[in-house]
Structure 1
Amino acid sequence: MERSFMSIRRFKWFPPVAGLLLMAGVTACTLATAGNDHAPLPDPAVNATPAQGDQVAVLAGGCFWGLQSVFEHVKGVKKVSAGYSGGAANTADYDRVSDGDTGHAESVKIVYDPAKVSYGQLLKVYFSVATDPTELNRQGPDVGTQYRSVIFYGNDEQKRIATAYIAQLSAAHAFPDAIVTQVVPLKGFYAAESYHQDYAKRHPDDPYIVFNDAPKVSHLKQQFPDLYVPDHEVVSVLLH
């Protein structure tokens, strides 16, 4: 019941339309990545200075199921939690956030080892395969401010790296349309309900996951082979 309810909430018309598209020969990869067919993005010209100890990045851009799944497969990432950022603590609830008027965006909190992956590399993954930064207040089938593209910076260095990278990508015309990703201070991150955590891992056959999120992980493997962590290693990290 939980699984079908969540799919209906996210994309009420998806299953029948998906069936018609498959009959017409449209692949999941094509459907899920429309608008993301760009040349490989450059490395960030501005990146983080060496740091000791685990660091945290908070990013938003569409459904947090897909974001969590992508970043769990990135080398150096120790833990990814789905949640809400941008609004107040008392509205950090899925039903309230789904109304689109709380200020929250579905987000992920990424705990990572800066000796293995840098903040700039995480942003490169984010812009390359995790989200379409040119879509305003939506991502693919999901529409509303809660699905907007946002980098929530935790300190001045993260702000500097994020704004510089967006400027770099814009100057290079890396995308056919303007980047609308917001760069705003992190005021708080509130973990989502337990049934949202690792949703893609627990429901790999859900049509929403098959068409919208699984292709992102496949693209991560293709575009970032040196950073990609296979499924069996992701499980060991999560259980650590």
Structure 2
Amino acid sequence: MSSTRSPVVTRPNAWRATFASFLVLPALALGLFNLPVAAQEAHVVIPAPAAELTETGTSAVAVFAGGCFWGVQGVFQHVNGVRNAVSGYSGGSAETATYELSSSGKTGHAEAVEVTYDPSVVSYGDLLHIYFSVAHNPTQLNYQGPDRGSQYRSTIFAVNDEQAATAQAYIDQLDATGRFEAPIVTTIEPLQAFYPAEQYHQDFLTLNPTWPYIVVHDLPKIAALEAIFPDAYRAEPVLVGSL
């Protein structure tokens, strides 16, 4: 992707984000977003997985869905050991793997992020830890923030049975802790295919840090990643456009 800024994109079913734009822009001008992350969005501090997935080699893939892919991609791009994080679609057919069609919520697709990582640096369990803690709210099934519809569902697309079993064990572990205010509703689906999203969606958080939706919903996730996972955080994200 080129270094030019992405075009303006209005997220479907996001009237609250549109309304927030009128509040956020003056706040940006006044510097009011220099607030601690806790003042903007709460994130749950949770234990790491008790059971870890055994992996070998230097490259593995995981696919996560949790609301708008801008923020999920942005979080994993800031994780040490992640080699690439691509926004895209999973759960439906190739013919409907577009932003326009998937936004209907009728294609079976979820906005998802394909994470390619080095297991010798960051484990699948580490990624799950971050996913459930700061990347999204796992107690919200078919919505995140202002976004509504099954295309924004909380889903782990498991590459294999081992990933599925590790993810389910962690969900059971987290539910038992009672750290969340409601039960975890994240589903686990076998990965059939992953389709990269349109170019203008890639690296959207990094290229548009003052876009109101990003300021309100996604930058707090990056701040939480740095605060809660300082050893995993890296300041310079790995970008799709730089590969």
Q: TM-score, normalised by structure 2?
A: 0.88
Q: CA deviation at 1:218?
A: 0.6
* 1:209/1:145 CA distance change after superposition, 3 Å: same
AA paired with 2:75?
V
Q: Kindly, what percent of the aligned residue pairs are identical?
A: 46
204, 208, 218: which one pairs with 1:213?
218
Matched, 1:3 2:37: no
Structure-2 residue corresponding to 1:134: 139
CA contact (8 A) 2:6 2:201 kept: no
1:71 match: secondary structure: helix
CA contact (8 A) 1:31 1:212 kept: no
100, 116, 119: which one pairs with 1:95?
100
Matched, 1:82 2:87: yes
Q: CA deviation at 1:32?
A: 5.5
Q: CA deviation at 1:8?
A: 5.3
Structure-1 residue corresponding to 2:202: 197
Matched, 1:166 2:168: no
Total equivalences in the alignment: 233
Comparing both structures, which one devotes a greater share of its residues to helix? 1
Deviation per CA, 1:163-198: give whole Å up to 9, x if none. 000000001112010100001100110000001001
17, 33, 39: which one pairs with 1:14?
17
* 1:138/1:211 CA distance change after superposition, 3 Å: same
Q: CA deviation at 1:18?
A: 4.7
Distance 1:135 1:208 in 2: 19
Distance 1:69 1:197 in 2: 9
Distance 1:117 1:81 in 2: 17
Distance 1:37 1:14 in 2: 20
AA paired with 1:17?
A
Q: CA deviation at 1:157?
A: 1.0
Matched, 1:229 2:227: no
2:157 match: secondary structure: strand
* 199-208 or 77-86, larger mean C-alpha shift: 199-208
CA contact (8 A) 1:85 1:107 kept: yes
1:3 match: secondary structure: coil
Matched, 1:155 2:160: yes
CA contact (8 A) 2:157 2:191 kept: yes
Distance 1:203 1:10 in 2: 20
* 1:158/1:192 CA distance change after superposition, 3 Å: same
Gaps of 5+ in 1: none
Q: CA RMSD in A?
A: 2.3
Gaps of 5+ in 2: none
Q: TM-score, normalised by structure 1?
A: 0.89
AA paired with 1:217?
I
Matched, 1:104 2:109: yes
Q: CA deviation at 1:43?
A: 1.0
Matched, 1:120 2:98: no
Deviation per CA, 1:133-154: give whole Å up to 9, x if none. 0012000111110000000001
* 1:88/1:8 CA distance change after superposition, 3 Å: closer
AA paired with 1:3?
P
AA paired with 1:227?
A
Matched, 1:179 2:184: yes
CA contact (8 A) 1:79 1:238 kept: no
